[in-house]
Amino acid sequence: MVESTYMASLSELRDVRLEKLEQLKTAGMNPFPASVPRDLSLAELKSDFEKLETAGAPLSVAGRIMSLRGQGAIMFATLFDGTEKFQVVFKKDEIEEGIFTLFGETVDIGDIVSVTGTPFTTQRGEPSVLVTDWIMATKSLLPIPSEHYGIEDDEERLRKRYLEALMKPEVFKRFETRSKVIKYIRDFFDTKEFLEVETPILQNQAGGAMAKTFDTHHNDYDMDMVLRISLELEHKIMMTAGYNRIYEIGKNFRNEGSDPTHLQEFTMIEWYAAYETLETNMAWTEELLRGIARDVVGKMSFMVKDKDDNAVEVDFGGVWSKVRFGDLLKENASLDMETASLKEIQAAAKVWGMSPDEIKSTGKANLLDHIYKKSSRNIIIHPTFVMDYPGELKPLAQQNTDGTARVAQLIIAGAEITNQYAELVNPTVQRELLEAQSEAKEGGDAEAMEIDERFLTAMEHGMPPMTGFGMGIDRLVAILTEQDNLRDVIFFPIMRPKE
C-alpha cells in the first residue's frame, strides 16, 4: 500500500509513484482533476460532527493523507486540509471492491484525495468518516517527510518551508499568526481613518534611511535605478497633497550583512499623521502592539534570547518606559555626550569594540551610536522608548536645540522595533542636513543619504506639521512567535542557490 522507506532514493520513490499514476489512469481515474467533491472543511466537519453523525447523510471532504495504516479488509487514513486533521476509514464490505483495491494499490502518504461517506464513531471513540467512494485529487510524485522526524537538515528546512509547515503544526500556525498580525495592523489604522497607499519600489535614488542599496538598470529608459530602502520620502510628498493620515505595508531592501536579526529584504509598516505629535505617536504604538499581543497571540509575555543567549521574558503588559539616549550613555558607558570631546568619544568607541581604522572614518554621531548599541541597547529587554538621538543620525526629524533630534525608537529585547519622529518640515533646515549627509557620502560613508531635490521641492510647497512611524514587521513577529532568527518568520528566506 505505501512505499517502503528502506534506503530508496528520491528518484526511485518517484519512479514507483509514476507507475501508480499510470495505474490510476488505466483505471479511468484522473490523477489531477480540476475539481473534486467537497461539501465542507475538516474543521467544519469536526465542529459539527455530532449533528452530522445524527443526520447520517453522506458527505464529501478532501485533504492530504498524512498517515495510513491497516491492510486487508480495513484501512485508516488521516486527512489534513489546512483547517484540521480528521480520520477516514475504508472497510472492504462498505465500498465497491475495485475502488477499495485501487486505493490500497495506488495511494501514498502525501497524496490529496476526496472521500465520500457517512460520519460515524469508531469502537475506540474516534470521530471518523466511513468511506463509500473516493477519487484522487492530486497524486504526489515525491514523499513528504516523516511526521516523527520532519526535516532534519536546517538548510533544507529553509529551502522547503512548505514541507516544514505541512509537517509541524507550530510552524503552520506561526505563519498564520504573521498574516493575522498584518491584518490587525491594517484594521487598526483603517479604524483611525488612515488611507492605505502604495509607493514605488523601483526608484531613481534611495532616501529616507541610511543604508546601502541594491542597484539595477532600467533598460528602456537607459538609466540606473535602485530598490527602495524606506517608504518615508514618498509618504511625506503625498502629505503635501493634503492627505492627513496615510500608511503603507511594503517591502524594503538594504544591501547589507545578514544575521539572525537582519535581512536584506524585509517588510515595513510606515505611517504619517498631520497635526499629531510624537507623544500621540508613542501612545498609538503602545496601543497597537499591546492589542496585537492580546488579541492575535493571546498573551502579554514572550520568551526571547538576550545578548548572552539566555532566555528572558519580555512583558508587553507592564509599563513602557521612556529614556533619553544621552542618559543611557551616562548610565552604561560613563559618557556625557554633551560635554565629551571627540577624542573622548573615540576612546570610548575603542573600549566598546570599534577598530582604530573604523574610528578614524566615523563621525561623532555614529561613534555615539556604536557605543549606545554596544553598551545600552542590547540590555533593554522590556518595551522601552529611547528618545532624543544625536541629530546627525536623524536628518529627517525635527532638531532640538541641544543637538539631538525629536525622535523615539521602541526597543524590545535589544532590537529596534520602531522608528518614530516629530517630522522635519522646514525645507531650509532639511536642505542643510541633507547637504551634510551628501558630504559624508562623498567622504566615503556608503550609508549616508543623498540630496533628493524632488523631495525638497515638495517640502518647499508646504508640508503640514506631522509625526511619522516605521516598524519592521518581521522583527515584531519574531518576538510574538518567540523566534530567535528572522528567517524563521519569513516563508521564503533568501538562500544561496544549490550547487
pLDDT score of 434: 84
Please answer whether residues 232 and 207 qualify as being in contact, where contact means their C-beta atoms are separated by less than 8 angstroms: yes
Identify the segments of the chain with pLDDT beneath 50. Answer: 1-7
Taking only the tens place, the pLDDT of each residue in 325-381 is 999 999 999 999 999 999 999 999 999 999 999 999 888 999 999 999 999 999 999
pLDDT score of 433: 85
What is the model's pTM? 0.91
pLDDT score of 210: 77
Q: Which amino acid would we find at residue 81?
A: D
At 443, list the grid cell. Answer: 567622504
Residue 81: how many other CB atoms lie within 10 Å: 18
Of 29, 47, 38, 273, nearest in space to 138 by CA? 29
Question: Going from the N-terminus, what domains does the chain have, and what CATH number goes with each?
Answer: 10-144 (2.40.50.140), 163-320+382-489 (3.30.930.10)
pLDDT score of 6: 42
Taking only the tens place, the pLDDT of each residue in 170-207 is 999 999 999 999 999 999 999 999 999 999 999 998 88
| Spatial distance between the Cα atoms of 135 and 141, rounded to a whole number of angstroms | 17
> Residue 428 class from Cβ within 10 Å (0-12 exposed, 13-18 middle, 19+ buried)?
exposed
Residue 417: how many other CB atoms lie within 10 Å: 20
pLDDT score of 7: 47
Contacts of range 15-20, beta carbons closer than 8 Å, 24 or more positions apart: 17/108, 17/139, 17/140, 17/141, 17/142, 18/141, 20/105, 20/106, 20/107, 20/108, 20/139
| Spatial distance between the Cα atoms of 208 and 226, rounded to a whole number of angstroms | 13
Q: Cα–Cα–Cα angle for 412, 175, 291, nearest 5°?
A: 45
Place of cell 533544507: 156
| Spatial distance between the Cα atoms of 485 and 319, rounded to a whole number of angstroms | 27
Q: Which amino acid would we find at residue 334?
A: S
